[in-house]
Structure 1
Amino acid sequence: MFNILLGGAAGQGIETTGAVIEMMLKANGYNVFVTRDLMSRVRGGHNFTTLRFGREPVLAHDHKVDLILAVNQETIDIHLKDLREDGFIIADNKFRTDDPRAIMLPMTDTAKELGNARVASSVAVGALIRLFDLPEEALRDIFEKTLRSEFVEINMAAAKAGFNAVSLDQGEAARKKANSRAGGKGEIIPEDERKDYSDWIMINANRAIALGALSAGLQFYTAYPMSPSTAIMEYLAGLQNEANIVVEQAEDELAAINAVVGASYAGAVAMTGTSGGGYQLMVEAMASAGMMEIPAVVVIVMRPGPVTGLPTRTEQGDLDMAIFAGNGEYPKMVIAVKNQSDAFYQANRAHHIAQKYQTPVVILSDQYIADGAATIEPFDLSKVEKVTVAAGDEEALAYRMDPAHARGDVMHGETKASDLAADEFKRYRITETGISPRLLPGNPQAFVNADTDSHCEYGFINEAADVHTAQVDKRMR
């Protein structure tokens, strides 16, 4: 396997260049694993992306680097210590280094000649194409997909300059390492044993969670932007017309979670996303959903805390908060996703659990997999299905009473005909399963009540100790 580190400052095109390289490698059959380390700023600082790839499944990053692709001097200064002895550097010939492993390219000069400083990184991309003997036309296709049309030719010209500056022989060792087995033994995988991953998909966990929620029938997503979860909202916003969903940027985290609770109460499949600091603000509304027995799904993409912490880095410090935050006792499911593939299936599962048990569900992810991309098998859609959604009218009332289509307690045959009478519907009826009958508000045939105060089976405030205990015990079954 081979490990590339691409480094530079924010604003130097690191994200775009990294995306182009990963698409190039993936299109040529490599299994690629990408991690991103970003500083919390729009310009400047030091950002880097690692791309580890090979002919076998890549499941994690590697601290040791085979190639440093430096877009600025700082990248060499910081990461030279991580370069393997047989590794090498691709950098601008204006940078300072006397390391014999360096391949110095006219990145800045080429960009000046072409009249656009931001195409300097494309010179390095051209050098990579030469080193790994990748087809040039594939790069054109990728530029056409990722860049505006007026920038395709200028970037192709920059890449050509980098291509011509490197000999094919210089890449022989790199190609051997990329086609070798994991473990650093250098054993080359025979060509007839090399798996082609070009038909697999490359995705990060944020997008996988979004798609998993859509596969469950997501109808409403709202959030206040908070790294590293913001990309979920951005991705869904780009799909809202195609997927026929509503995506709303809330004014804060309290508005987001309360909107989810309200939408779910009305019958929508709803979700929000945040990070640890945002979830702290959502705790009361989560407890409200627990008390009113309303489905609510929240994605927590963890980052280092406490408070603001490090917004663009990774940590897994919010498990206890996700499990225990909230006053009193109410059931809550917390699902920690394992990787990018698991994120898709668990997001679908989270909505089914929320709807079936009428309870809040937390999906725990972290920045490492949320922003990092992995090459995975295409999702098996036979393993996921949509939750049933019905509107609050008479036709939907009959629909929900059909056990073949119902959600919640109806799935277990617990709803009785007497529950439909306007003066007898027990929204919080004590049941053996702990799941009460659920109807949507607005039905003319049944009055649906909900209250965050301790309540009786009908949903009205009740302060009797035995009633409170019975409801707590029911919810916790």
Structure 2
Amino acid sequence: MELELNMMVGGEAGQGVQSVGFILAKTFARAGYGIFADQDYESRIRGGHNFYRVRAKDDEVGAISEHLDMLIALNRESITLHQKELKSTGVAIFDEEKIKDISPNERLLGVPLERLAQEKAGNKLMTNTVALGAALGLVKFDFDLLASVLREYFTGSGYDIAEGNVRAARAGFDYAQENFGDNMEFDVKPIAGVKRMLLSGNEALALGAMAAGCKFMAGYPMTPSTPIMEYIADKGRLFNIVVVQPEDEISVINMVIGAAYAGVRAMTATSGGGFCLMVEGLSLAGMTETPIVVVLGQRPGPAIGLPTRTEQGELEFAIHAGHGEFPRAVLAPATIEDAFHIAVKAFNLAEKYQTPVIILTDEHLVSSYGTVAKFDLEQVKIERGQLLSEEEVDTLTEYKRYLITESGVSPRALPLRGKALVVTDSDEHDEEGHIIEDAETRRQMMSKRLRKMNGLRGELEQPRVHHTPGAQMTLVGWGSTYGAITEAVAILQKEGVAANVLHLNELWPFPEGTVSSVLNGNTKSIVIENNATGQLARLIRAETGIKVNGTINKFDGRPFSPEYIIKELRKGVF
């Protein structure tokens, strides 16, 4: 029998919502379950309403669910806001001694959370851990496994804190089993022999960059991309990676260009506002044919917008940002595992084609956690393109940094390496890199650079296509919507409604051939994306001439769920 458990931890900032949510996810992952966990938090240090959702399943899972089996309510507001999301068999845990206007019953389970924390652990700050223990007691989980995760999580806080949290969890666990042992039908046992990593999208992307040989990162903190810089700064010490936080994003992009010009793989990670400041530098990389990787983590704008929420509002911005025309690739990972592999590919493309590559993520993907299999590093290939070795450079009688070639890619020597004189300039230049003003050289150099798009087009993976016999509609998406769309299609199929999936994670150069062949069929096409204006739908029409039959646009700062997609389809939006 399939086992699936959907849990939510709700409370104010400062109540340990994220800690409990992450430990829940980690514990179920350690027990062999597939996990997808996301967090919803406000842009404040204290107060407000935050929640953390954990979906555990004895199979792979790639999206959230709107229907809860359990709500861990650390304050009254969480019950008010989320009680309606509980299934008919779902339960809520709350502190009946602190929230006195709710009468406990078989679905609203009163647990003296703060009192147990004080009595058993000597610290009321461990109230959230009591609630965690109670939650796992209700589903008859293995307490020893929870205890091992708690000790691991709190190991940096000292022995007393770690053991105090174990005692707090034990108190909640025992209380729930003694008082509510029959309130839930779950009996969650570890799955033998299953081992997966639990990673966020940002962590997977950072690992991919490290595996790809990134040696320099500059960044200025900006949600949702800051964790990439933090992760590489921490882990990168073992791999001689330099991480710098300069005074602003203008400095960031120019430092990255400088490092890449000198010969190391270099990157930055930012969000929309920071990327705006980087755009002039992006054009500089395009003109100087310098290979850089830029992670653009989307969040709702304009201006500050909703800085801790999600959106897909910068697809067209990523494709067209910069003054003048120059080649680039735009990649948008569909899953957490995909983020690792796309990071590797981005660095390879950047160097092979000596051009900027943009990795387009969003808050939902990069801040969510999921279980992934161990990455096979033997499959990671480093491709540096036409980078000349010192021995090759020493055999040259002359060197032209911007030699005009059929592919548009010139042999690349590094400055101060060997005999080659490397000249570069932000002005238009000739093959040697010297400034020019004549029309013919300008035409030749522009054509040379843009020919790289032909090679890039052949490098990109084609969109993911899932055909269903008898399908009458095709759901189209990009980036982080993949999990929600594919699960919505699976649910529809169980209900007797067949649908195809067309999903893009490598978006530019645009794969017009595959998109055209799929959408020119006999199905209705519905594009699903987290923005207000239908940017992918517009891009499809611009590149293929095909006008899709309908769109489902969500732009409230929240991610798609399979249930939301199905609800909108039933409205007949197409």
Query: TM-score when scaled to structure 2?
Result: 0.74
Structure 2 distance, partners of 1:111, 1:201, is 31
1:472 aligns to 2:472 (yes or no): no
| Local SS of the residue matching 1:89 | strand
In the TM superposition, residue 65 of structure 1 has moved relative to its aligned partner by 1.3
Tell me which residue corresponds to 2:72.
69
Aligned to 2:391: 398
In 2, are the aligned partners of 1:56 and 1:195 still within 8 Å (CA)?
Answer: no
1:288 is paired with a residue whose SS is helix
Paired residues of 1:430 and 1:471 also in contact (CA < 8 A): yes
- Equivalent positions of 1:405-444 (< 5 A) are 420-421=396-397, 424-444=398-418
Q: Matches of 1:391 and 1:246 in 2, distance apart? A: 22
* Structure 1 residue 116 displacement after superposition: 2.0
1:138 is matched with which residue? 145
8 Å contact from structure 1 (residues 303, 313) kept in 2: yes
Deviation at residue 446 of structure 1 after TM alignment: 1.5
The 8 Å contact of residues 151 and 166 in structure 2, kept in 1 or not, is answered as no
Distance in 2 of aligned mates of 1:195 and 1:155: 25
C-alpha distance in 1 between matches for 2:173 and 2:27: 15
Alignment-derived partner of residue 187 in structure 1: none
Deviation at 1:303, TM superposition (A): 0.5
> Partner letter of residue 398 of structure 1?
E
Query: Does residue 1:220 correspond to 2:216, yes or no?
Result: yes
Q: Aligned partners of 2:71 and 2:148: how far apart in 1?
A: 25
Q: Bigger CA drift: 198-207 or 450-459?
A: 198-207
> Does 2:103 align with 1:98?
yes
| SS of residue in 2 equivalent to 1:224 | coil
Q: Is the 8 A contact 1:455 1:461 kept in 2?
A: yes
Selected match of 1:24 from 24, 27, 32 = 27
Deviation at 1:305, TM superposition (A): 0.6
> Does the residue aligned with 1:167 lie in a helix, a strand or coil?
helix
Q: Distance in 2 between matches of 1:202 and 1:319?
A: 28
**Amino acid across the alignment from 2:27:** M
Secondary structure class of the residue paired with 2:176: coil
Query: Equivalences for 1:153-232 in 2 at 5 Å?
Result: 153-167=163-177, 170=180, 174-176=184-186, 198-232=194-228
Amino acid of the residue matched to residue 155 of structure 1?
N
Matched to 1:34, the amino acid is A
Task: State the distance in 2 between where 1:431 and 1:171 align.
Answer: 73
Secondary structure of 1:449's aligned partner = coil
Q: What is the letter of the counterpart of residue 438 of structure 2?
A: A
Check whether the contact 1:35–1:371 (CA below 8 A) recurs between aligned residues: yes
Tell me the percent identity.
41
- The Cα offsets for residues 217-255 of structure 1, whole Å up to 9 and x where unpaired, read as 010111000000000011111112212211111211111
Provide the rounded CA distance (Å) in 2 between the counterparts of 1:270 and 1:226: 18
Q: Note if 1:56 corresponds to 2:59.
A: yes
Are 1:254 and 2:260 counterparts? Answer: no
Is the 1:30–1:196 contact (alpha carbons within 8 Å) kept by the matching residues of 2? no
| Alpha-carbon offset, residue 399 of structure 1 | 5.8
Query: Does residue 109 of structure 1 match 2:115?
Result: yes
Partners in 2 of 1:358 and 1:150 — Cα distance? 54
Q: CA deviation at 1:400?
A: 6.8
On the 8 A contact 1:215/1:386 being kept in 2, the answer is: no
Per-residue deviation, 1:298: 0.3
Question: Which deviates more, 227-236 or 8-17?
Answer: 8-17
The number of equivalent residue pairs is 441
Q: Is the 8 A contact 2:269 2:295 kept in 1?
A: yes
How far off is 1:381 after superposition? 2.0
Trace 1:236-247 onto structure 2 (pairs within 5 A): 236-247=232-243
Q: What TM-score does the superposition give when structure 1 sets the normalisation length?
A: 0.88
Q: Which deviates more, 164-173 or 106-115?
A: 164-173
Residue matched to 1:345: 341
Identify unmatched segments of 5+ residues in structure 2: 452-574
Alpha-carbon contact 2:393-2:419 (below 8 Å) kept? no
SS at match of 1:310: coil
Give the direction of change, closer, same or farther, for the CA distance of 1:107–1:169 in structure 2 (3 Å limit): closer
Deviation at residue 112 of structure 1 after TM alignment: 3.2
